[in-house]
Amino acid sequence: MFKRSFRSGDRVDKSARLKKANTARDVQKLAKIQQSIEELGPAKKNLNSPIVTLTVGKEARLFAAHEEVLCQSPFFEKACRDQYLEAQSKRISLPDEEPEIFSAVLEYLYKGDYYPRLLHNKHRNSWELEDAVRSPDPSENNRAGRGAVEATMYVSSVGQYLLRDTVVYCAADRYGLEELKRLSLRKQGLQSGIDVGTILRSAQYAYDNTPDSDSRLRAHYLALIIRCRKTFKRSGTMQAEMERGGKLFFDLFVAMCNHLDDVVEMTNSRTPKTI
């Protein structure tokens, strides 16, 4: 076990050592990334194109990718073209992107999926997430209902934990990756046991980071809230979130829920019962 020293000399040059260490780690990471993407081989992708370096997030974490792979995205195709024409530089800066999310996007561009992969269970004829297996020890299970796989991630721009697949979806929308949008939405549909607060924060993020014309992720959240309206109606978090725009909105939501419940009950009462 390493012990941290608190000597004055260590305190004086702590920031310098950290900066040097971070730089060294970035260089090592960049080398490993380049090696790993080269190991995919030409059978998977044509990897003869130049390597593009990307700096991602506020801490400017280093990533590397082949230009041809990046250019599957209209966003990166334009970024590469503009960068090369204007500055002859094979470096793209994404200061507002979350490194964890960009890593998922890059993994998708190379492999057609991102961890945890979407797997088909032939015995059950259903779709499952890789490693989403519950541990016998309840304390080791993910609170969000995915077993060993984290369903949420901390988003620094929001300062909160959000559903990871929602953040991936929004990134895919920015980068023009329609298949990745469909994939992330399908993965999100496999989640269960998500708390109300996380759902509402993620829904708000989805609305803030998708166009008004979005008909998938927004509709997913609306359908989820309506389907689970009894839970949301009792939620103090839901009430607080809606009252930020005026109590009218929460009252309207409760009235809508009550109306839907009445409609469902009336429909059920008129439906002939079978033995």
Query: Alpha-carbon distance 92 to 82, whole Å?
Result: 10
Note the pLDDT tens digit of each residue in 199-258: 989 998 998 999 988 889 988 888 888 888 888 888 888 888 888 877 767 776 888 888
Q: Are residue 206 and residue 126 in the same domain, yes or no?
A: yes
Q: In the prediction, which pLDDT does 179 show?
A: 96
Q: Same structural domain for residues 247 and 210?
A: no
Instruction: Give me the pLDDT at residue 229, please.
Output: 84
Q: Are 158 and 173 in contact (CB under 8 A)?
A: no
Question: Does 5 score more than 60 pLDDT?
Answer: no
Nearest to 183 by CA among 206, 164, 156, 159: 164
Say what angle helices 164-175 and 99-111 make with each other, to 10 degrees: 70
- The helix or strand, by DSSP H or E, that contains position 172, with its residue range, turns out to be helix 164-175
Lookup result for tokens 């499952």: 128
Q: Is residue 11 part of a domain?
A: no
What CA–CA distance (Å, rounded) separates 73 from 70? 6
Coil, strand, or helix at residue 55?
A: strand
Q: Which of 227, 243, 266 is the last residue of a domain?
A: 227
Taking the CA atoms of residue 12, residue 13, residue 18 and residue 20 in that order, the dihedral angle to the nearest 10 degrees is: 170
Q: What is the pLDDT of residue 243?
A: 82
**In 209-246, where does DSSP find H-type helix?**
217-227, 229-233, 236-243
Q: Is the pLDDT of residue 93 over 90?
A: yes
Element housing 108 (H / E) = helix 99-111
Q: Report CA 50 to chain centroid distance, whole Å.
A: 28
Question: What is the distance between the alpha carbons of residues 93 and 73, in angstroms, rounded to a whole number?
Answer: 16
Q: Are residues 217 and 273 in the same domain?
A: no
What residue numbers bound the domain in which 40 lies? 21-96
Is the confidence at residue 91, as pLDDT, over 60? yes
- pLDDT tens figures, 25-64: 655 655 555 555 455 443 345 578 889 999 999 999 999 9
Q: Is residue 13 part of a domain?
A: no
Rounded CA-CA distance 246/227 in Å is: 24
Instruction: Mark whether 163 and 263 lie in a shared domain.
Output: no
Same domain, yes or no, for 140 and 169? Answer: yes
Mean pLDDT of the chain: 78
Residues 222, 238, single domain; the answer is no
Is 240 found in the same domain as 222? no
Distance set, CA 275 to CA 121, 200, 255, 271 (Å) = 34, 41, 34, 13
Q: Do 182 and 204 belong together in one domain?
A: yes
**What residues contact residue 164 under an 8 Å CB cut-off, 6+ apart?**
100, 101, 104, 150, 151, 152, 153
Q: Percentage of the chain surpassing pLDDT 90?
A: 37
136 preceded by a cis bond (ω within 30 of 0): no
Domain count, the chain: 3
Considering 84-88, 147-151, 235-239, the range whose residues carry the highest mean pLDDT is 235-239
Residue 156 has pLDDT above 80, yes or no: yes
